[in-house]
Amino acid sequence: MNPLDYAASSRQRFLDQLFEFLRYPSISTLPEHKTDVANAADWLASHLRSIGMQTVECVPTDGHPIVYAEWLGANGPTLLFYGHYDVQPVDPLDQWQTPPFEPTLRDGKIYARGATDDKGQVWLVISAIESWLRSVGHLPCNVKLLIEGEEEIGSTHLGTFIRAYQQRLACDAVLVCDTAMFAPDIPSLVYGLRGLAYVEVHVRGPRRDLHSGSYGGAVVNPANALAAMIAALHDEHGRVAVPGFYDAVLPLSEQERQLLAALPFDEEAYRQELDVPALGGEEGYSVLERIGARPTLDVNGMWSGFTGTGAKTVLPATAHAKISMRLVPEQQPDQIAQQVARFLEQCAPAGVRVQVQTLHGAEPVLVDRTSPPMMAAARALEQSFGRAPVYQREGGSIPVVTTFVREFGVPVVLMGFGLHTDGAHSPNEHFHLANFHRGTDAVIYFFEELARGASFSPC
Amino acid sequence: MNPLDYAASSRQRFLDQLFEFLRYPSISTLPEHKTDVANAADWLASHLRSIGMQTVECVPTDGHPIVYAEWLGANGPTLLFYGHYDVQPVDPLDQWQTPPFEPTLRDGKIYARGATDDKGQVWLVISAIESWLRSVGHLPCNVKLLIEGEEEIGSTHLGTFIRAYQQRLACDAVLVCDTAMFAPDIPSLVYGLRGLAYVEVHVRGPRRDLHSGSYGGAVVNPANALAAMIAALHDEHGRVAVPGFYDAVLPLSEQERQLLAALPFDEEAYRQELDVPALGGEEGYSVLERIGARPTLDVNGMWSGFTGTGAKTVLPATAHAKISMRLVPEQQPDQIAQQVARFLEQCAPAGVRVQVQTLHGAEPVLVDRTSPPMMAAARALEQSFGRAPVYQREGGSIPVVTTFVREFGVPVVLMGFGLHTDGAHSPNEHFHLANFHRGTDAVIYFFEELARGASFSPC
């Protein structure tokens, strides 16, 4: 039996096992789920042992454990797979049609927290490995698995682990299955991820909330001041007005613009799905360019004064905002955060005090579209989906990708099988069963194509 | 025994009863306190019966009840006293040193929500009435009390009540004790109040919160849009930029500017007390002019997106603000609210939908500084405080004053005993015990001076 036939005949069992995996409420950010996270790691580790991985470790960290496994029996290249078994919180719980940790198959979709992000995608890789090991008895390439439990909380202890395991993690390529396909039935390879800089701004005026009648007109209102400071962050062309913000941005090449323009993207359908009267963003760029290849600045949260029902006439003592910037190569998160902080401080009127606090950041990354592992992935996708993949830049961040690029200096393949409409981080998260199966087949092909190392020209 | 001696020997009891009054969390704007508001009204009504008021009614309305009482045994003028027993919300609760509804005497001050606004001031009037009735057995003038429970939410049902009770409310003068003294030890009469227009702005973008990575750059962020709209409301000279906003404003006369300039006001001490690096406001006017005689626009509340701890990368679906304008004669609240609403809608970028809702309003008012009741009040204050009062314009609004001026055509006396530093509407609201006592005496004198009706020249 070949691996594909093995996978085809094991579909129901793969799904049952994924359901078992999804039942663990491994919410990494909530302390009350610490044991659930640990149990998910243990269960995952014993499953990896059962399918024939040679080495399996459940490595404790100061946070949640990392599951690490190896199969090194091939006389071929070594692939490091990265994924995560932790999930996001589930609130608002009342918006779920079925409970988030009782996986349900409905209309060809697997509904559960973690279904698409990232347990379902981890599971198709593990199923592909089993399909090789249990059919022909070996894999065409060596495989190392690094499956962490802190991706949703900033991979706090992953850096320490990678430094400690540096020798053992040596590899020829990295595979990550945690991105989305461009559209249903269009297999996709992501070659760019945006970075992130995140600041929190605190504007303080009078020592206490004041009566807006007795004091209105005499002092600078921190909420009005913050609004003006935020307004100053953009110019009238939708560009970020912070001096130096674009200095390090790599311009889009004409070739890349053509590549993005060729993608089957319907702006009007996109606008309608979001239910906005018009799309927005930086002048002179298409929507896909704005999302994938241009940096942005967005308020993520803002609060001041009285926010209850009715009309309280308070002149608030303070006003606050969370503001984040999505970055593109070669912007540096620390530098951008500093530039934004300095600009906000300079914009503030004399009547208030401003404090800007930097939260976490992530570096942007671009990977080579023509590396042999990328070509192998493209061929694998074409065999599984029946059409060549598209290449896209993704607006979000996966901080660890930068670490792999920098620490190992090997090509990274971002081959995901989710869809943007899967509801990752939202109620009713789901994963299309068809993509679970096609993804399993694609990874089965990928192991072989990577080993073959044949040359391949991307479209 | 005369009324002053009676009051002097009843101080502790007056205070204990005020504490009892202050313990009712009569927050009119919060539906969950509806019963507390009603209980406060009942308790107040039964107290008024116990001190000898002839008629006491707790009048239900479609909102909170109005307490109405009469003592009409004098062969003299009739005074209508207006006050309110409802209070503002208490948040931020964690900034209170002692709980807002557990009144506490500390450093000569009564700490509680409502201590100065307006329960404490209502209480000194009631104590003055009791002092007359329980000492000499009668009052020198007739007294009608109208104490409402919706002052903090725009006196929604007071107009209906006043029309229904028009005959019974007939009077020769109105007394309101809900204003502040110019400074400690400087008794004050207020002759101008600002009006109010209050709007709530709702900015709606995409149909749901979005991932700021996947979508940032493609849509207009409602929080950024709202910030820009708010910023556009002022120009660089601290003036409101809404077209037509100043059209109806009566300019300050040279005489009035001199009167205000002569008040013993220390700008630097004021700045220090507020702990702001600099004062703010409209260019070309003094602080007292800005507060009393010029219109302003302030954000009272603002909220959008994620406001918890940490860095959530959400692109919020909506953003909201409460914005109010303090008005001066002859600005009209409805017209101003409409101008501001239209301006905000025009400022909004194409990618969002804007809805502006008008909440309550109040007309600005100026009263005659030389009416006989004003002169009687000036003499009463001089007897109680040992010095003549100053005349000032107050930045806040007491909507009902306009109604009294318009409906009854009688002089209105605004004689308050609070201080601007009392923290009305803020955490740790308090009322100086000394002002509570001196205010009681002043009102005892006022009843007599009003009856005497002697002429008096203001300073």
Question: Per-residue pLDDT averaged across A179-199, rounded?
Answer: 94
Residue A459 pLDDT class (50, 70, 90 cuts): very low
Note the pLDDT of residue B320.
98
pLDDT above 60 for B238: yes
With 60 as the cut, is the pLDDT of residue B203 above it?
yes
Mean pLDDT, chain A, integer: 94
Coil, strand or helix at A299: strand
Q: Is the pLDDT of residue B454 over 50?
A: no
Mutate to test the interface with B, among A30, A300, A336 (most CBs of B within 10 A): A300
For residue B369, pLDDT beyond 90: no
**Domain check: are B358 and B430 in the same one?**
no
B-chain CB neighbours of A309 within 8 Å are: 29-31
Residue A146 has phi, psi (to 5 degrees) of -125, 105
CA distance B338 to B335: 5
Confidence category of residue B23, pLDDT binned at 50, 70, 90: very high
Q: Report CA torsion sign: A49, A51, A53, A57.
A: negative
| CB-nearest partner of A234 from B224, B226, B304 | B224
Calculate mean pLDDT across residues A165-169.
95
Residue of B nearest to A88 (CA): B312
Distance spanning both ends of chain A, measured CA to CA: 33
Inspect the interface and report whether the beta carbons of A311 and B324 lie closer than 8 Å. Answer: yes
Confidence of residue A455 (pLDDT cuts 50, 70, 90): very low
Q: What DSSP designation does A385 have?
A: H
Residue A433: pLDDT band (50, 70, 90) is very high
Q: Which residues of B touch A423 (CB under 8 A)?
A: none
Has residue B154 got a pLDDT over 90? no
Mutation target to probe the A interface, by most A beta carbons within 10 A, among B32, B215, B365 is: B215
Whether A184 and A217 map to the same domain: the answer is no
B276/A234 touch (CB, cutoff 8 Å), yes or no: no
Instruction: Give a yes or no: residue B278 inside a domain.
Output: no
Query: What is this model's ipTM?
Result: 0.88
Among A299-308, A344-353, B147-156, which is the least confidently predicted range? B147-156
Q: Does the predicted model carry a pTM greater than 0.95?
A: no
Which of B177, B147, B128 is CA-nearest to residue B41? B147
The Cα–Cα gap between B388 and B376 comes to 12
A231 contacts on B by Cβ (under 8 Å)? 224, 227-228, 230-232
Confidence bin at A454 (pLDDT 50/70/90)? very low
What's A429's DSSP letter?
-
Same domain? For A144 and A8 the reply is yes
Kindly report, residue by residue over A281-327, the tens digit of the pLDDT: 999 999 999 999 999 999 999 999 999 998 888 999 999 999 999 99
CB neighbours of A250 closer than 8 A, spacing ≥ 6? A328, A329, A330, A366
Distance, CA of B428 to CA of B20 (rounded, Å): 18
Q: In Å, how far are B46, B64, B65, B153, B174 from B57, measured between CA atoms?
A: 9, 13, 10, 22, 19
Residue range A94-117, pLDDT digits in tens = 889 999 999 999 999 999 999 999
A341 and A376 assigned to the same domain: no
Taking an 8 Å cut-off on Cβ atoms, the answer to whether A306 and B154 are in contact is no
Residues of B in contact with A282 (CB under 8 A): 217
Would you say residue B455 has pLDDT above 50? no
Mean per-residue pLDDT, A254-264? 92
Record the tokens describing residue B153, joined without a space: 């939410």
Give B286 to chain A, closest Cα distance, Å: 9
In whole angstroms, what is the distance from residue B398 CA to residue A438 CA? 70
A202 in the same domain as A168: no
Residues of A in contact with B232 (CB under 8 A): 231
Residue B177 token pair: 């004790």
- Tokens (6 digits) for B300: 């009272």
Burial of B379 (0-12, 13-18, 19+ CB in 10 A): buried
- Please state, in angstroms and rounded to a whole number, the distance separating the CA atoms of residues A197 and A327: 7
Share of chain B above pLDDT 90, in %: 84
Q: Are A305 and B300 in contact (CB under 8 A)?
A: yes
Q: For residue A275, give the DSSP letter.
A: T
What is the per-residue pLDDT for A158?
A: 95
Q: How far is B448 from chain A (nearest CA, A)?
A: 31
Q: How many C-beta neighbours within 10 Å does residue A2 have?
A: 12
According to DSSP, residue B420 is labeled: G
Looking at residue A26, what DSSP letter applies?
-
Alpha-carbon distance of B216 to B224, in angstroms, equals 12
A180 in the same domain as A78: yes
- Chain B residue with Cα closest to A208: B426
User: Which contiguous run of DSSP H or E holds residue A355?
Assistant: strand A353-358
B213 vs A309: CB contact, 8 Å cut-off?
no
Both B131 and B200 in one domain: the answer is no
Count of alpha carbons within 13 angstroms of residue A26, beta-carbon side: 31
Residue B160 lies in a domain: yes
In a domain, B298, yes or no: yes
Q: Are residues A314 and A376 in the same domain?
A: no
Angstrom distance (rounded) from CA B245 to CA A216: 16
Give the pLDDT of residue A457.
Answer: 34
Residues 6+ apart with CB under 8 A from A319: A203, A222, A223, A225, A226, A302, A303, A304, A305, B299, B302
Tokens of A98: 């079925």
In a domain, A388, yes or no: yes
Q: Say yes or no to pLDDT of A232 above 90.
A: yes
**Is B27 part of any domain?**
yes
| pLDDT (average), residues B74-80 | 95
Q: Residues B404, B308: one domain?
A: no
Q: Tell me whether residues A212 and B314 touch, CB distance under 8 A.
A: no
DSSP A282: -
Give phi and psi for B404, each to the nearest 5.
-60, -45
Domain boundary among the residues B308, B343, B362 is at B362
State the Cα angle at B332 between B331 and B338, rounded to 5°.
Answer: 115
pLDDT, tens digit, for every residue of A207-217?
Answer: 999 989 989 99
- E strands along B4-155, which residues? 55-59, 66-71, 78-84, 104-106, 109-111, 142-148
Residues of A in contact with B424 (CB under 8 A): 211, 214
For residue B287, being part of any structural domain is answered with no
Higher-pLDDT residue of B428, A362: B428
Q: Are residues B41 and B165 in the same domain?
A: yes
Chain A with chain B: Cβ pairs closer than 8 A: 335
Say which DSSP state B249 is in: P
Confidence of residue B407 (pLDDT cuts 50, 70, 90): confident
- Residues A101 and A89: beta-carbon distance below 8 Å: no
pLDDT above 70: residue B230:
yes
Residues 6+ away with beta carbon under 8 Å from B305: A299, A300, A301, A302, A322, B209, B223, B312, B314, B315, B316, B319
Q: What is the DSSP letter of A107?
A: T
Same structural domain, A75 and A218: no
Chain B: residue whose CA lies nearest to A290: B217
Class of residue B74 by CB neighbours under 10 A (exposed 0-12, middle 13-18, buried 19+): middle
Do the domain assignments include residue B270? no
Rounded Cα gap, residues B144 and B71, in angstroms: 6
CATH of the domain at B62: 3.40.630.10
Closest to A87 (Cα-Cα) out of A64, A61, A60: A64
CA dihedral B252, B253, B255, B259 (to 10 degrees): -10
Give the dihedral sign, CA B10/B12/B13/B15: positive
Q: Are residues B307 and B215 in the same domain?
A: yes
pLDDT for res B428:
97
Environment class of A353 (CB within 10 Å of its CB; exposed 0-12, middle 13-18, buried 19+): middle
Closest to A402 in 3D by CA, of A336, A450, A330, A337:
A330
- Among candidates A301, A305, A293, A343, which has minimal Cα distance to A322? A301
- Judge whether residue A149 has pLDDT over 50: yes
pLDDT given for residue A407 in this prediction = 86
Select the residue of A301, A350, A353 nearest B305 (Cβ to Cβ): A301
- Rounded distance between C-alpha atoms, residue A388 and residue A5, angstroms: 23
- The band of B3, judged by pLDDT with boundaries at 50, 70 and 90, is very high
Kindly state whether residue B129 falls inside one of the protein's structural domains. Answer: yes
For residue A389, give its domain range: 3-193+365-452
Residue A21: both structure tokens together: 């995996």
**Residue A239's CATH number:** 3.30.70.360
Other beta carbons within 10 Å of B72: 14
In angstroms, rounded to a whole number, what is the distance separating the alpha carbons of residues A110 and A14?
A: 13
Distances, alpha carbon B92 to alpha carbons A215, A305, A312, B426, in Å:
19, 9, 13, 8
Mean pLDDT of chain B: 94
| Side chain identity at residue B122, one-letter code | V
CB contact under 8 A, B425 and A300: no
- Most confident among A155-164, A394-403, B196-205 (mean pLDDT): B196-205
Which chain B residues are within 8 Å of A312, Cβ to Cβ? 29, 88-89, 152, 300-301, 322, 425
Can you tell me the distance from the alpha carbon of A153 to that of B81, in angstroms, rounded to the nearest whole number? 61
- Provide, as residue numbers in chain A, all residues whose Cβ is less than 8 Å from the Cβ of B294: 217
Q: Please say if the pLDDT value at position B12 is more than 90.
A: yes
What is the count of structural domains for chain B? 2
State the pLDDT at residue B311: 83
- Are residues A352 and B277, on separate chains, in Cβ contact within 8 Å? yes
Residue A250 tokens read as: 């790599």
- Final residue belonging to a domain, choices A358, A373, A401: A358
pLDDT at B457: 34
Q: Is A97 exposed, middle or buried (0-12, 13-18, 19+ CB in 10 A)?
A: exposed
Helices marked H in B110-189 — which ranges?
119-135, 158-164
Using one digit for the tens of pLDDT, what is the confidence trace for B128-146? 999 999 999 999 999 999 9
Q: Give me the pLDDT at residue A318, please.
A: 98
Q: pLDDT value at position A174?
A: 97
Among A219, A275, A424, select the one facing B276 at the smallest CB separation: A219
Window from A96-100, B180-184, B270-274, B292-296 with minimum mean pLDDT: B180-184
Query: At which of A310, A327, A358 does a domain end?
Result: A358
Pick A350's closest partner by Cβ from B95, B153, B277: B277
Contact status, residue B171 vs residue B144, Cβ threshold 8 Å: yes
